[in-house]
Amino acid sequence: MALQKTLSLLLLSLLMLLWLGLVQPSYGETMYQRFLREHVDSTGTGGNSSYCKKMMQEREMTRPRCKRFNTFIHEDIGTIKNICKTPQIPCKNGKMNCHEGEVRVTDCRLTARFRGNCRYQGRGSSRRVVIACQGKLPVHFDK
> Distance (Å, rounded) from C-alpha 21 to C-alpha 18?
5
Q: How many CA atoms lie within 13 A of 106 on its CB side?
A: 25
Short-list 107, 88, 90, 109, CA closest to 99: 88
Distances (CA, A) of 36 to 14, 98, 118, 143: 22, 17, 21, 16
Secondary structure E strands in 25-97: 69-73
Asked if 118 and 66 touch (Cβ cutoff 8 Å), the reply is yes
Asked if 110 and 53 touch (Cβ cutoff 8 Å), the reply is no
Catalytic residues, which ones? 39, 140
